[in-house]
Amino acid sequence: MTKRQNFLLVSVVLLLIGIASVMVQMKLTTILPSLTERFAMEQTQVSLLMSMFTFVGLILALPVGFAAKRFGARKMLLAGVGFILAGSLVGAFAGGSAMLIASRAIEGVAYIIIITCGPLAIERYVAPVRLGTAMGIWGTYGCGGTLVSGALTPTLYEVAGFTGLWLAYAAFALLAGALFVILVKDPKGAASKIPVPKAVVPSDSEDSSAVDDLQSAGSGLGGYRAFFAPNMLLFLFPYVCFNVLIGVTLSFSPTFMQSQGMSAAQSGMVITVTVGVALVSCIIFGMLVDRFGRCKPLYVIALLAMGPAAYLLTSSTGIGMWVGAALLGCLGMSASAVCPTAFVRILNDPALLGVGMGVLKLMQCLGQTIGNYGVPALLGPAMSNWPLVAIVSLVIGLIGAACMMLCKYR
């Protein structure tokens, strides 16, 4: 019988590593004008600096998944922490923009390793009956890292300077990695295949046949065909849509709000409150997965909220804006907590889980890339066609939710 540690301890320690990776990613956001001046960067260099994490993710998500299958989540997570330390040291003592960009590439490697292998570690170390709650806690890493970085970066930069800020975040990552080594141990008596709780097995014949198709596709040399099965594509496409809309709501909606007369502080407060609410809702959604043994209804609810939330946040600065923020924080962003558990269930094959998580994170990076480049294209040269962005966002959200409704799993 497999004996596992307390799920809360494991989840919180892994969450700290995830938060460290996001803090490193987001540390440029509030100090970018100062860095641009310090390193005399041109606009093309600034764009490359800010998009490096996404580019690295697009290239390395699948290789990281294969590496996780070969080396295991524990070694990969520690490697991710090592890449944070290496990238931070290179960046802290960067003498020019090229060296700073190179440091971001190294940190981007760390980020894709950690966000890919974090769910794998949870699936390895946490008992199946607590998997939903643990994934819900893990799903707050993006919100938590963004909030912590936004709160600490300006102050640390002012007090400790550029080098001090980079080294401080590296120290936090090192602490998180040390806690992982000391506190999180391999489960005793763990088999190579982690059992799936009975609640995850679809009860109706239609859902069961969908899972059987994936399992038969996942055996033998042609096992990776499982990721091209129609049911899997119906699952992956909504995750791309979700990440497109995350970019619309968190990255571009403040620009819309400011174009309508709101100050940067006011628009920032709307997003900060939304992200803060999402911290709680992610955990609640994870607990509901464990309570009811089902992912699909919760995932569909979250995805149904994304389109209207994006529409309202890019078309209104009145009551509609706050309704959109409530939909996003209370429901929409909780998809990030439900998705990993749902993915484990629909794949239902531990042998493919490492590569599968790489596929999932590739979809995440693809969605982010589409959002980053698609929204400016929709806005047009004058960057003013917000009604088109709002309508397209609504349609993307509804299509994603419809695909998830058609996907067969529990």
Convert the pLDDT of each residue in 156-197 to its tens digit: 999 999 999 999 999 999 999 999 999 998 887 554 333 443
HSE (CB half, 13 Å, CA atoms) of 30?
A: 22
The pLDDT score that the predictor gives to residue 2 is 61
Give the model confidence (pLDDT) of 206-216 as tens digits: 454 454 444 44
Same domain, 330 and 383: yes
Same domain, 219 and 246: yes
Q: Which residues of the chain have pLDDT under 70?
A: 1-3, 189-222
Write out the H or E segment, with its range, that includes residue 218.
Answer: none
Would you say residue 286 lies in a domain? yes
Give the model confidence (pLDDT) of 270-305 as tens digits: 999 999 999 999 999 999 999 999 999 999 999 999
Same domain, 115 and 238: no
- Tokens representing 403 are 């695909």
Would you say residue 194 lies in a domain? no
Same domain, 158 and 62: yes
Same domain, 219 and 353: yes
Burial class (CB in 10 A: 0-12, 13-18, 19+), 393: buried
Beta carbons within 8 Å of 215's beta carbon, 6+ residues apart: 226, 348, 349
Last residue within a domain, chosen from 183, 215, 240: 183
Count of domains for the chain:
2
- Tokens representing 110 are 């760390």
Q: 393: closest CA among 233, 247, 239, 236?
A: 247
Give the model confidence (pLDDT) of 343-364 as tens digits: 988 987 888 899 999 999 999 9
188: helix, strand or coil: strand
Would you say residue 192 lies in a domain? no
Same domain, 175 and 286: no
CA dist 288 and 28 (Å) reads 35
The pLDDT score that the predictor gives to residue 409 is 85
pTM of the predicted structure, to 2 decimals: 0.88
Decide if 378 contacts 310 (C-beta within 8 A): no
CATH code, domain with 279 = 1.20.1250.20
Same domain, 366 and 238: yes
- For residue 35, what are the domain limits? 7-183
Same domain, 116 and 220: no
Same domain, 258 and 146: no
Same domain, 146 and 266: no
Same domain, 169 and 222: no
